[in-house]
Structure 1
Amino acid sequence: MTDVNFYLDKLNSQSYAFGLPLVTGRVKARPADFRVIEVMDVEPSGEGEHFWLDISKIGLSSERVAKSLARHSGVAYRDVGYSGMKDVNADTRQWFSVWMPKQLGFDWSEFEMNEVTVHSIHKHNRKLKRGTHKANEFRLKVVDLTGDIESLEERLSIIAGCGVPNYFGEQRFGYGANNLTKAQGLFDQGRKIKDRQLRSVVLSSARSFLFNEVLSLRVKNGTWNAFYDGEPASLNGTNSVFQTDGELDNEQRLKSLDIHPTAPMWGRGHEKQTEHYSELAEMESEVMKEYEVFTQGLEKHGLDYQRRATRSVPNALQYRIEGDALELCFSLQKGQFATSVLRELVRQG
């Protein structure tokens, strides 16, 4: 069985788009230094069998808050919904839903949880499902900066204009990358994971790791922001993917960050889809050869082949450097990681 250090080394050696940062700093020195606000794509209707709660939490996982809501309301955990898994070591604001068809007048005033604030409660006719939000707004602070501060400002300007590699952040892989060793145990040794949610997290981690490996190679060879012939493109701000045809218009849209190259989210059906871009598919297959346990395992567990953008664009990027601290504000579409932006700016001290 592959040692966990193998995966950690792989994750730590992912290519940098602009070279190793020349500045060191501390990220998430305290939860208040990493603030996340969920931007929803829908609004509660005001009526229905589901309570939607707008909640802030500090230093807590989304799962832990969801379980507390279930206990307080006397419902099953499966009847509590939330759109995104937010950082634990952070100050985050997001929505939760609780299905209570027989207690439409439930009094939430007695719900209490340390480091949790309920801002508002609304009725809605649907459960809040994963991926319902549109984006996340980030307000970040990096402290104890040392090094070439001038180079930091240069990088911020570059990133505002061309984005960063859309790596999955380290939190996707669990503490010490243990989600990946669990995936290997599931695929290679048949170790069953009875908890459905944990199994989903483990499968997603394996898939995300493969994506990162392909993206790292494309960063290294300078194609993370360029199209291969016939490559599928991703429309900025959405998960919509379409086939490119080499027209000048697509190249212009690429430069303006309207569309992006893509890398594989591995699963069933890859053979049929990749026949349209043979050169890119050959490169990706070479990467996958090292991880046949993962590719075969993902296909066996029924995941379908998809594509994901290789670039992440921080929108409305603003920053301030004062003394030894950097303050950043920007937004990212759902499923993208602020830590991947920070990775290109500072090395963690």
Structure 2
Amino acid sequence: MLGLQPNAWRYLHNGPLFKANIKAQLKDFKVVEKLTFEPNGEGEHDFLFIEKEGLNTAFVAEEMAKFAKLPLRNVSYAGRKDKFASTQQWFGVYFGKKERVDWDNFSLVGLQILKQTKNQRKLRLGTIKANAFEIRLRNISDLNETQLQQRLQDINRNGVPNYFGNQRFGERIKTDGSVELGGNLQLAEKLMQGEAIRNRNKRSMAISALRSWLFNYFVSERLQNAGFKVLSGDVFILKGSNSFFVHELIGTSSQQQAQNEQLIKRLSERDVLFSGPMWGEGKLDSTSAALEREQQISATFPDICEHLASLGLKQQRRPAFIFPENLAYEIEDNDLILRFSLPSGSFATSVLREIVDIDVGIAPPKV
């Protein structure tokens, strides 16, 4: 067994400033999803904007499919949302020629339908413009507001590592309310050893956790060895898209210097972003010095790389750093409330870890 751990990644901003509790109540962690488009109100797809607490996205999709008497594949969503939170997100349900159901009769503890409409096209994974977060941190110890303001300024300027959060790797509430992390990684290790996982959803989460863990490792090693230094052959993603290009230095030394200066300017304007590999079969997109660096890192975990490639996953790129937007705070008694927005696929906990050492304080489950 590899014994993969979910949260051993390096910091960009010298570690957290203070300690606090998170998720003492589900409403302490709020997320509102914003799509890249507006449903047009017509078509064969029911679109439901829901608010859920204590429910994971996949379970809600399963319950919607059961209620509508449709195959699970007919229910879609733009992205998964944290189970241990109060989240607002869209679901799409495709009926085609089948008779529609009355969603006013759909009942699920912890869920409320906020809006119903229709759309002509399916709600596809990834069609999220941003997620807006409001997070309340409780029982703060040793908060220095001057230091907090400086840290937020640093984050505004330099961003944070775009790590996948612990939710991706699995969170399980024990009977005493404590949280055990890494369940999906444990499943992934069993999968690598040849153990079959029959539940398609669990298998998917295990594979996703393994691939995400390896990406985090790449980013953490980048912080340690190269940071924001531009390497020849680095792969840069155009902000707000999946398009990327390779920064291959060519020509004379003065020409290469000009190329670097132009790229650094684009980085400062956040027009382009450093990237790291999401592992799969095929060649890495990086070249030259950057390729050599990524090959050295991947050689640390050949079994993981080989397994991910064997699953038919393709080499992809993901931004290595992200920049929260509209980052603001409010102090209320001994609580700190943080508000910010992140692009689709990024985790609020990756912002929080650069500010606060958080202790998950979820209430014990009812028995």
TM-score normalised by length of structure 1: 0.92
Higher helix proportion, which one? 1
Tell me how many residue pairs correspond in the alignment: 339
- Partner residue of 1:238? 241
Deviations 1:303-327 (A, max 9, x none): 1111111111101111123442211
The answer to which of 192-201 and 84-93 deviates more is 192-201
Query: Is it true that 1:141 corresponds to 2:145 in the alignment?
Result: no
Q: How far does residue 344 in structure 1 lie from its aligned partner after superposition?
A: 0.2
Q: One-letter code of the match for 1:183? A: A
Change (3 A) 1:323 1:107: closer
Q: One-letter code of the match for 2:235? A: P
Q: Which runs of 5+ in 2 are unaligned?
A: 172-180, 250-258, 360-367
Q: How does 1:42-61 map to 2 (within 5 A)?
A: 42-61=37-56
Q: Which runs of 4+ in 1 moved over 6 A?
A: none
The answer to which of 171-180 and 136-145 deviates more is 171-180
Query: Is it true that 1:184 corresponds to 2:189 in the alignment?
Result: yes
> For 2:216, which of 197, 212, 226 is the aligned residue?
212
Mapped to 1, the partners of 2:246 and 2:298 lie a distance apart of: 22
Query: Is it true that 1:229 corresponds to 2:232 in the alignment?
Result: yes
Contact residue 226 and residue 261 of structure 1 kept, 8 A: no
Q: One-letter code of the match for 2:209? A: S
The answer to which of 73-82 and 95-104 deviates more is 95-104
Query: Is it true that 1:198 corresponds to 2:193 in the alignment?
Result: no
Q: One-letter code of the match for 1:235? A: L
Contact residue 15 and residue 353 of structure 2 kept, 8 A: no
Contact residue 184 and residue 293 of structure 1 kept, 8 A: no
> For 2:271, which of 258, 270, 285 is the aligned residue?
258
Contact residue 69 and residue 80 of structure 1 kept, 8 A: yes
Query: Is it true that 1:22 corresponds to 2:22 in the alignment?
Result: no
RMSD between aligned alpha carbons?
1.7
Q: How far does residue 245 in structure 1 lie from its aligned partner after superposition?
A: 4.4
Share of identical aligned residues, percent?
Answer: 38
> For 1:297, which of 285, 307, 310 is the aligned residue?
307
Deviations 1:1-27 (A, max 9, x none): 23xxx322xx33211111121311112
Secondary structure, counterpart of 1:139 in structure 2:
strand
Deviations 1:60-98 (A, max 9, x none): 111121122112111122211111110011010000111
Q: One-letter code of the match for 2:93? A: V
Q: One-letter code of the match for 2:221? A: L
Q: One-letter code of the match for 2:188? A: A
Deviations 1:255-290 (A, max 9, x none): 22221111111111125x33xx22222222222223
Contact residue 25 and residue 348 of structure 1 kept, 8 A: yes
Q: Which runs of 5+ in 1 are unaligned?
A: none
Q: How far does residue 104 in structure 1 lie from its aligned partner after superposition?
A: 4.8
